[in-house]
Structure 1
Amino acid sequence: MKLQPDKSSSTIINAHGLGWIQINGTRFQSSLVVSSIPGSPPSPWGPCLFENLKASDFDALVGLGAELIIFGSGHQLRFAKPQWIQTLIGHGIGVETMDSAAACRTYNILASEGRKVIAAILIES
């Protein structure tokens, strides 16, 4: 039996490590937004330090068409302050927080299921 990988039109996270992430074969070294929504390429997002995040970084994700936002908080799990995500919640968009490695894995699973998901990944240098 010959196995073939599934073809997906979604953006896929191929690999990740401390200070970098690889998406569809391209390596990035700064925080970014990854979207499973067709026609939405990876784009820069927020600062490179958790301590410098603010509500406007999360507010920028509201109009992107996601049903769920996965916040990758860097190499360790740190929860977003409630005031940072209240606009997302007010628009009925779910928010899950996890470390960036777990966010990458979870994003890939949800994207492969055809879900409208965005991963906001904090890449710490």
Structure 2
Amino acid sequence: MRMNEVAYTDALPIDGYGPGFFRVGGEVHQGNILTGPTGTTDWGSYEDSASLIALAGEVDVLFIGTGAEVAHIPTALRRQLETAGIGVETMNSPAACRTYNVLLSEGRRVALAALAV
């Protein structure tokens, strides 16, 4: 079996998550996060659409982790993101973290906004 070392580009991978936290690139962040090529910051949930729209031109796909369960995001937020040219994929936060890491390791232009579990 051939093994390849995974190299992440501009963004850091999600190393772990648990009740109320995410570990990104070895650093623990409490609460909701937004991470991608511009770094990792706190995310104010769906009402904080400005920080997501600011990703336009930086990412092709934004994964939105909806917490422990899969849920729909507000329709207005989805429209804003799609109008800005950002593809949106929603899933529960654990699945969003895993999918983000896979695409990040492929060198894709992705970001993750996740609600804490």
TM-score by length of 1: 0.81
Q: Say whether residues 1:18 and 2:19 are aligned partners.
A: yes
Pair 1:7–1:75, CA change in 2 (3 A):
same
Report the secondary structure of 1:119's partner residue: strand
- Deviating beyond 4 angstroms after TM superposition, the runs of 4 or more aligned structure 1 residues are none
List aligned pairs for 1:1-125, cutoff 5 A.
5-9=5-9, 10-35=11-36, 37=37, 40-47=38-45, 53-54=46-47, 57-64=48-55, 65-124=58-117
CA distance in 2, matches of 1:121, 1:81: 15
Deviation for aligned residue 1:4: 6.5
Report the secondary structure of 2:88's partner residue: strand
Larger radius of gyration: 1
Query: For residue 5 of structure 2, what is the amino acid of its counterpart?
Result: P
Percent sequence identity over matched residues? 33
RMSD of aligned alpha carbons: 1.9
CA contact (8 A) 1:15 1:22 kept: yes
Pair 1:90–1:4, CA change in 2 (3 A):
closer
Pair 1:16–1:86, CA change in 2 (3 A):
same
Deviation for aligned residue 1:93: 1.1
Pair 1:82–1:15, CA change in 2 (3 A):
same
**Structure 2 unpaired stretches of 5+:** none
CA contact (8 A) 1:15 1:21 kept: yes
CA distance in 1, matches of 2:113, 2:59: 11
Deviation for aligned residue 1:41: 1.6
Relative to total residues, which structure has the larger strand share, 1 or 2?
Answer: 2
